[in-house]
Amino acid sequence: MEIIRQYLPFLIPLIVIELGLTVAALIHIFTHKTYRKGNRVLWVVLSFVQIIGPVLYFVIGRSDE
């Protein structure tokens, strides 16, 4: 517990950013039907792969419509 408290100033921003990216990707995935590459299941799974998953979705998977 003591150790966790010590690292809290790091952990909170880390969790907020990572969750934020994942949630942003998920919202976009579920509000759009078509993707440039891949399908919904793939992107939902990938958006939980931290950092690189949501980035890949927004760069490659997100369709323009």
Question: Quick one: residue 40, left, alpha or beta (phi over 0 = left, psi -120 to 50 = alpha)?
Answer: alpha
Identify residues 15-54 at the interface with other proteins (CB under 8 A): 17-18, 20-21, 24, 28, 51-52, 54
2 binds other proteins (CB under 8 A): no
With H, G, I as helix, E, B as strand and everything else as coil, classify residue 32. Answer: coil
At which residue do the structure tokens 């792969």 appear?
49
Contact between 59 and other proteins by CB under 8 A: the answer reads yes
Please report whether residue 56 would count as binding other proteins according to CB under 8 A: yes
Distance of closest approach, residue 51 Cβ to other proteins, in angstroms: 6
Residue from 26, 42, 44, 55 touching other proteins (CB under 8 A): that is: 55
DSSP letter string, 10-21: HHHHHHHHHHHH
